[in-house]
Chain A
């Protein structure tokens, strides 16, 4: 259990200060790209507070990629905190090539009706309308994901406009803070999806950690310069330095295939785990899913991780691939910076 200096509410207060700025700017007729101010005190849905709170309840858990109702049932039985519905698992997206788009809404709806845990789905980077469709469908969270073919090479979705929370991938602190300043409610490492190789996720998590450490000990003028380089609001960088972590929930994703992989990412500071191809591209999905769930919540206890690791067989793990064998154009992590 990690102890932080600021409570969730104090972090949210920061975002509402930004909302106050927006209110003033909007009143003055300027464009604003900031959270909405809550105005009345009646029950209200879809506020920044509500969107940032959702991922808190995913912490310590495993979100599993599924492609149909049957897999979703297995994920729920294994103790997943959410499922992510997609048309093809990242491994198959990689194999199939072509344009990868959001999953069939009918399939997503079937999954939503069959399980009690939250349901997430992916949209293409910058595809405002796939996101609008999924929001209308009522998914619990949207992943604006590099696994799918980007719809906009230049921009991400303005996520402040939505009532549904978003999760975004990031390879470094700049990417993470840019996504948060666009209204993202949760960050995950990009890793290299569909490879069964955890090395890129490790790399990305370590980069974020070391950049946060560096920012924490920087002088104020260097921090201002850093914020300019990263193209993020200075205040957001300041908050991150004070907190000594990202101001929203931060998961690991991309290449996690075994309980030990999951425990490693937790040890590096992840709040939880996304498993894509690792489960349903293995020969022992149910046992493996259960084992990864166990290792994720009890990562501090090597005995439990050992027990989890014993539940699966390395012979049944997905084969995985060396990142160095991928051509530059085959890398998914470079999409949407």
Chain B
């Protein structure tokens, strides 16, 4: 299995290490960085946390956004964390400044509010119950995190925190508003590998 990490900006190195460990545990596989359209020959892709405006802009400038969109629509499994969850969502607004015109993938039936909890001052760590994916209660950070305010169609919520959706799935698409790549567990990454293999 070959997993790509969109490596322009953000927590791409953290995803790289976590995914590498997961694949090692499962008997092998390769993790590569994706920056240009020619790198898109992968079995699954991760869109990391970072600034969604920056990631979207660079992807669109380098001609990666359209082919990536197409691949994801055709069923390429994708995990988006934080900024990645924003990129995947069909409907994005900012909690403070409202709608901004930013390049997105927009493939998942979900509504996302950027900077939902506020600024860095309101960023926090919390315990999230992963029982829906056969995991335990684990500690995660939420950094200037978005919220998934609504899912519809085939999309469903996998975890919530105080009634706000923090993890959702639609087929091969997995979105989290927290950061499994900074946590002490590889559970979310290995769950993604499982759904990508289906």
Contact = CB atoms under 8 A, between A and B. Distances in A.
Interface in A102-123: 112-119
A76 interface: yes
B18 interface: yes
A61 interface: yes
B190 interface: no
Interface in A1-44: 1-4, 7-10, 12-13, 38, 41-44
Interface stretch (A219-227, A275-283, A297-305): A297-305
Contacts of B119: 112, 118-119, 138-140
Interface stretch (B55-63, B71-79, B104-112, B148-156): B55-63
Contact of B13 (A59, A80, A138): A59
B118 to A, nearest CB: 8
Contact of B179 (A53, A79, A118): A53
Nearest to B121: A138
Nearest to A140: B120
Contact of A116 (B18, B57, B58, B96): B96
B20 interface: yes
B54 interface: yes
A4 B13 CA distance: 8
Contacts of B12: 1, 59-60
Given A56-B11, A59-B12, 6 more contacts: A7-B18, A41-B139, A53-B182, A57-B143, A61-B51, A81-B50
Contacts of B8: 60, 297-298
A118 B122 CA distance: 12
A164 interface: yes
A47 B140 CA distance: 12
A54 interface: yes
- How many residues of B sit at the interface, in one of the four size bands? 35 or more
Query: Which 8 pairs between the two chains have the least Cβ-Cβ distance?
Result: A60-B9, A43-B126, A140-B120, A297-B8, A79-B57, A1-B33, A9-B184, A8-B182
A194 B161 CA distance: 46
B61 to A, nearest CB: 6
A141 to B, nearest CB: 7
Contact of B125 (A8, A47, A57, A82): A47
A79 B161 contact: no
Contacts of B83: 57
A45 interface: yes
11 contacts: A4-B17, A7-B17, A7-B182, A45-B122, A53-B179, A59-B9, A59-B13, A80-B54, A118-B144, A293-B58, A297-B9
Interface of chain B: mostly helix, strand, loop or mixed: mixed
Interface string B19-30: 011000000000
A113 B115 CA distance: 12
A294 B125 contact: no
B100 A41 contact: no
Interface of A: 1-4, 7-10, 12-13, 38, 41-47, 49-50, 53-54, 56-57, 59-61, 76, 79-82, 112-119, 135, 138-141, 163-165, 290, 293-294, 297-298, 300-301, 304
A45 B11 contact: no
Contacts of B181: 8
B127 A41 contact: yes
A76 B62 contact: no
Contacts of B16: 1, 3
B69 interface: no
Contacts of A59: 9-13, 50
Contacts of B187: none
Contact of A54 (B7, B54, B120): B120
Contacts of B51: 57, 61, 81-82, 117-118
Contacts of B62: 294, 298, 304
A47 to B, nearest CB: 6
A54 B144 CA distance: 8
Interface centre among A2, A53, A112, A114 (most CB of B within 10 A): A53
Nearest to B12: A1
Given A8-B182, A80-B54, A118-B120, A57 B114 contact: no
